[in-house]
């Protein structure tokens, strides 16, 4: 969170869509080619003006700078290294700046599983950034995250906007609170902390949203082979993914588990394995947990050395994801 940027709502949608496509195992950024029609629909831009608007939008975005504070350094990086628009082709191709590699590759969960359905219908340019901030701190043990107003303004690039706190609260915080409650998977309450009579800090209490209109929409965005943009149905369960990663299971192994076994079976075996304190403290606990999920130890209560799997997934690093998808599809026909 030691970064700040000032993007329009449309520019944020572009960046977040690109970010969601970065895979944890990627070693280099890839150019992504989009259909102009889908691209404009994603941004909510009138399709009648799409062919004149695309170059304007991408040109402005390439001027924007992403600032990162790192120890005694202030790093300023352009978001995009290139934007290619071939007239008459119906496509635009975008690529992240390579200087962003250390910050956006090998991330594991944040961008690869970004729930864009929670972002795309927001109207305020500040709501997506507040959503990011809260999602990054959703699992704080104390149940809230406290941030100084000055720091929050820095993150949102509003140091010179809404100088009166009352305006900042109304235009930024309350608007984000309303939008997150309506369209996202989380919402928040907040408490103002004062020094004297001045509000100097805010405590955000982050809560799961079970009533928002888009809460049950489990769509993420993917680029199809021909450059179209479409939702991915049934993305990975982020809560379970985070738990698996915390126990030392690799992202690829965790992804295969989540795609190959029922969520109830995964969760019950996480609980089963975590309750075994002797094993939990051993180096091979990740392997034990994988086997527990495969064999469904929570239900079958294994006899040591005598459990055999009838439906075991190969969770090696070289696991063929396409193969398992084909097997699952055939099985469900």
Domain count, the chain: 3
Which of 161, 182, 217 corresponds to the end of one domain? Answer: 217
Residue 304 shares a structural domain with residue 166: no
pLDDT score for 280: 53
Residue 245 shares a structural domain with residue 327: yes
pLDDT score for 70: 78
Of 93, 97, 77, 96, nearest to 85 by C-alpha is 93
Residue 2 shares a structural domain with residue 103: yes
Most confident of 152-161, 203-212, 243-252: 152-161
Of 225, 212, 226, 27, nearest to 119 by C-alpha is 212
pLDDT score for 246: 75
Residue 212 shares a structural domain with residue 275: no
Residue 188's pLDDT band (cuts 50, 70, 90): very high
Predicted TM-score of the model (pTM): 0.56
Quick check: 166 pLDDT over 90? yes
Average of pLDDT values for 301-327? 49
Residue 150 shares a structural domain with residue 57: no
| pLDDT over 70, % of the chain | 68
Least confident of 18-27, 104-113, 245-254: 104-113
- Contact, 54 vs 68, CB < 8 A? no
Residue 5 shares a structural domain with residue 102: yes
Average of pLDDT values for 265-277? 85
pLDDT score for 173: 97
- Contact, 112 vs 20, CB < 8 A? yes
pLDDT score for 222: 58
Residue range(s) defining the domain that contains residue 81: 1-107+220-234
Residue 64 shares a structural domain with residue 137: no
Average pLDDT for the chain? 76
Residue 75 shares a structural domain with residue 152: no
Token pair in block for residue 17: 């869509």
pLDDT score for 325: 52
- Contact, 267 vs 240, CB < 8 A? yes
Residue 210 shares a structural domain with residue 242: no
Residue 177's pLDDT band (cuts 50, 70, 90): very high
CATH label of the domain that carries residue 83: 1.10.10.10
pLDDT score for 214: 46
- Contact, 182 vs 163, CB < 8 A? no
Residue 233's pLDDT band (cuts 50, 70, 90): low
Residue 276 shares a structural domain with residue 308: yes
Give me the helices (H) in 208-320, please: 238-246, 251-260, 263-274, 277-280, 285-295, 297-300
Which of 217, 250, 270 corresponds to the end of one domain? Answer: 217
Which of 178, 199, 234 corresponds to the end of one domain? Answer: 234
pLDDT score for 196: 94
Residue 173 shares a structural domain with residue 264: no
pLDDT in tens, 96-134: 888 887 776 544 444 444 456 667 778 899 998 898 888
Residue 286 shares a structural domain with residue 230: no
Token pair in block for residue 274: 């975590």
pLDDT in tens, 32-91: 888 888 777 777 766 666 677 788 888 898 888 888 877 788 888 888 999 998 777 888
Average of pLDDT values for 282-300? 85
Average of pLDDT values for 286-311? 73
Instruction: Between 145 and 122, name the one with better pLDDT.
Output: 145
């Amino acid at each position: 969170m030691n970064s700040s940027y000032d993007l329009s709502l449309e520019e944020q949608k572009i960046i977040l869509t690109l970010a969601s496509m970065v895979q944890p195992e990627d070693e280099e950024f890839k150019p992504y080619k989009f259909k102009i029609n889908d691209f404009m629909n994603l941004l909510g831009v009138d399709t009648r003006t799409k062919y004149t608007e695309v170059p304007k939008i991408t040109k402005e975005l390439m001027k924007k700078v992403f600032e990162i504070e790192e120890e005694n350094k202030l790093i300023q990086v352009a978001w995009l290294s290139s934007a290619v628009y071939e007239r008459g082709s119906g496509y635009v191709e975008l690529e992240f700046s390579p200087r962003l590699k250390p910050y956006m590759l090998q991330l594991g969960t944040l961008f690869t599983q970004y729930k864009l359905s929670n972002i795309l219908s927001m109207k305020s340019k500040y709501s997506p950034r507040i959503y990011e901030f809260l999602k990054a701190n959703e699992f704080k043990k104390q149940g809230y995250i406290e941030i100084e107003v000055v720091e929050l303004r820095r993150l949102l690039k509003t140091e010179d906007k809404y100088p009166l706190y009352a305006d900042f609260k109304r235009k930024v915080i309350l608007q984000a609170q309303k939008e997150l409650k309506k369209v996202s998977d989380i919402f928040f309450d907040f408490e103002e902390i004062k020094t004297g009579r001045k509000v100097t800090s805010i405590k955000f209490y982050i809560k799961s949203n079970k009533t928002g209109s888009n809460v049950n929409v489990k769509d993420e965005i993917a680029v199809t082979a021909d450059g179209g943009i479409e939702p991915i149905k049934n993305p990975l369960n982020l809560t379970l993914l985070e738990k698996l990663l915390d126990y030392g299971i690799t992202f690829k192994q965790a992804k295969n588990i989540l795609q190959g076994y029922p969520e109830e079976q995964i969760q019950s075996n996480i609980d089963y394995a975590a309750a075994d304190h002797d094993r939990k403290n051993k180096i091979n606990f990740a392997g034990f947990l994988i086997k527990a999920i495969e064999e469904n130890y929570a239900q079958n209560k294994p006899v040591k050395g005598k459990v055999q799997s009838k439906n075991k997934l190969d969770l090696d690093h070289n696991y063929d994801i396409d193969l398992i998808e084909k097997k699952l599809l055939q099985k469900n026909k």
